[in-house]
Structure 1
Amino acid sequence: MMGRETAVALLLATACGDSGNTTAGADGTETQASTTDTSAGTAGDPTGGASDSETGTPTTSAGSNSGASETATTTTTGETATTSTTAPTTETGPDTTTTTTSPGTTTEETTSDTTTTGDTTTTGDTTMGVDDTGVSSTTADTTTSTSEPDTTTGDLPCGSVLKATIRDFAFAHPDFENYSGNGAYKGLVEQNLGPDEKPTYAHPGPTPQTSGPAAFAQWYNDVPGVNHTFQVDLPLTEVQPGLYQFADNTFFPIDGLGFGNEGQPNNFAFTTEIHTTFFYNGGEVFTFIGDDDVWVFINGKLALDLGGLHPQLQDSVNLDNAANALGIVKGMSYSLDVFHAERHTNESNFRIDTTIACFVPM
């Protein structure tokens, strides 16, 4: 009996001990309990909410005994920072520049740079966002610059070199080395340039200077087995203020080429074709000096006619005097087409004098 009373007393003493130190586990063991601060974090406490920095490390504070907690997560992708807050009590400072997926401040910036080919470049920078009051605002800055065209007159790029097409013929061609003459034979071609931008033969058959339309059609067209084609440059030089010239009294641009010189010191049998555009300011004069056939068309109309086989001859056109006939007005650009033929041995002269200051090779 005495032993059982002693055991009961001991059991009662243990049950009445300090409850703050030990607790009984389910398996009869003793477990040490911990005591924590039950005060909740606030927005003003640096440990109670997300950092104001876009990329700062978020912190977490313990809540009350109910187990509530705040968690701030920052995710950055490319150039956009995203802050997501799961607790509704989190406050964001007025200087926040991050982007949040929950209700809060949103800032989005878009920059576009656009370049337009041609002579104009446009650059646009646009920023869109929501300010601290939640009102959307847009700011656009646009700068447009236009580069100057590579011109000296109007909108045309001026040059000082005429591009010429040379076609070589054999002496056996019916229109080369078979005729002779001592003066211009006018009227071999029509007054207007043909739809193919070539001179049109004006006769149904032969003339004292030509064999007929079929042979003439080969002069300024590529015909395999009949001619060989070459490209040459004819540079214009300003020989005095406002006067431009190309002059060659031994004009043999294709010696040894094509059908060759055919026993002659030079290659005499060839034609020359030039297409260009010029700007008409007023007062211009165009002069040609040479042999043999030469036709000059301005705005598609015959301006100079030195057709036929002949020694060196000269002719000029004053554009102001011929403006009505040519259908040209000042301040506009027009086509200028030159057709030449060297058809007989003896000499070859080719000279252009002009006050036209702006040629545009085609």
Structure 2
Amino acid sequence: MKPSKYPTLIAATLALSLSGAAQAYLLTGTIYDHVASEADFEDAISGLSRGMLASTLGSDGLPDYIGTGGYGGVQSAASFDNWWSDSHGSKSVELNLADNGSGMYSYSDSTFFPIDGELSGNEGRSHNYHFAMHLEGKTSFKEMDMFDFTGDDDLWVFINGKLVMDLGGVHGPANGHFSGSDLLGLGLLEDTVYDLDIFFAERHTTQSNFNITTSLRIEPPTPVSESSVLALFMTGLLGLGMRRCFRK
């Protein structure tokens, strides 16, 4: 008996359907809640303050504050280290960077308040304005790739433990950008998977913006849900059934 071609055709149809589906990149991490009475929060507005951190991550995988005299609105290295502790509670977070169809992936939120009404609460305000966030992933790049961020307050990006974006301080929305060419200049290599660490803090009323656009590969991609796979599979079966009917 001649082997059936249908299983192969079904698999091919499903693969084509999946390849055409929109993909999202996933960043996971932790949000650390804080309160207005803490050091470094709801204090003076420092403005954009580059150079607050060492150029490489510490042995604990966290940034080291090297500023002096309250630079960037930070009292001390010890108060900065407390940003990344769960003294007021913490929560896991996931951000999906959606494919916009042109090779770019983006996440955009002009009211970025992910823990409103949670953990320490809003302290009588309309939002929870006091928190720090550490996002993690894996990334690789080509020379022509780019990463763009606009937001407030502090934002630092590290790749392979090296500082590649520096937007520290309490400030209004600020923009930062780096390219694959910039990463090559730091000694990083194309098509090589590196650790990606993004550190963000919201320290003062009344805005919170968080906007990323990038063409970097961030691994692993968000998996397609089982329901989506089933729907695509059934579409493939339907197409093959119609094909068989027409051939009779």
The match for 2:110 among 232, 249, 262 is 249
How do 1:123-162 and structure 2 match up within 5 A? 160-162=25-27
Which has the higher relative contact order, 1 or 2, with Cα contacts under 8 A spaced 6 or more apart? 2
Asked whether the 8 Å contact 1:281–1:332 carries over to 2, the reply is: no
2:194 aligns with 334
Instruction: For 1:227, give the aligned amino acid.
Output: H
Distance (Å, rounded) in 1 between the aligned partners of 2:102 and 2:120: 41
2:97 aligns with 236
Asked whether the 8 Å contact 1:166–1:229 carries over to 2, the reply is: yes
2:134 aligns with 273
Distance (Å, rounded) in 2 between the aligned partners of 1:283 and 1:203: 33
1:88 aligns with none
How do 1:109-124 and structure 2 match up within 5 A? none
Structure 2 CA distance for partners of 1:342 and 1:360, relative to 1, 3 Å: same
Structure 2 CA distance for partners of 1:170 and 1:324, relative to 1, 3 Å: same
How far does the alpha carbon of each residue in 1:105-142 deviate from its partner, in whole angstroms, 9 at most, with x for none? xxxxxxxxxxxxxxxxxxxxxxxxxxxxxxxxxxxxxx
Q: Give 1 or 2 for the bigger CA radius of gyration.
A: 1
TM value normalised by structure 1 = 0.53
Query: What is the deviation of 1:205?
Result: 5.5
How far does the alpha carbon of each residue in 1:138-158 deviate from its partner, in whole angstroms, 9 at most, with x for none? xxxxxxxxxxxxxx9xxxxx9
Q: Name the structure with the higher strand share.
A: 1
1:356 aligns with 216
Distance (Å, rounded) in 2 between the aligned partners of 1:293 and 1:245: 19
Distance (Å, rounded) in 1 between the aligned partners of 2:185 and 2:114: 36
Runs of 4+ in 1 over 6 A off after TM superposition: none
Distance (Å, rounded) in 2 between the aligned partners of 1:343 and 1:194: 23
1:212 paired to 2:76: yes
Asked whether the 8 Å contact 2:137–2:218 carries over to 1, the reply is: no
The match for 1:171 among 30, 33, 36 is 36
How far does the alpha carbon of each residue in 1:305-348 deviate from its partner, in whole angstroms, 9 at most, with x for none? 000010001110012233122x2111211111100000001110
TM value normalised by structure 2 = 0.76
Distance (Å, rounded) in 2 between the aligned partners of 1:263 and 1:221: 23
SS class of match (2:194): strand
How do 1:1-362 and structure 2 match up within 5 A? 160-181=25-46, 183-203=47-67, 206-207=70-71, 209-222=73-86, 226-325=87-186, 327-360=187-220
Asked whether the 8 Å contact 1:159–1:358 carries over to 2, the reply is: no
Gaps of 5+ in 2: 1-18, 222-248
2:244 aligns with none
SS class of match (2:79): helix
Query: What is the deviation of 1:358?
Result: 3.5
Query: What is the deviation of 1:184?
Result: 1.1
- Aligned pair count? 200
Q: What is the CA RMSD across the aligned residues, in angstroms? A: 1.8
Q: Name the structure with the higher helix share.
A: 2
Gaps of 5+ in 1: 1-151, 153-157
Distance (Å, rounded) in 1 between the aligned partners of 2:218 and 2:77: 35
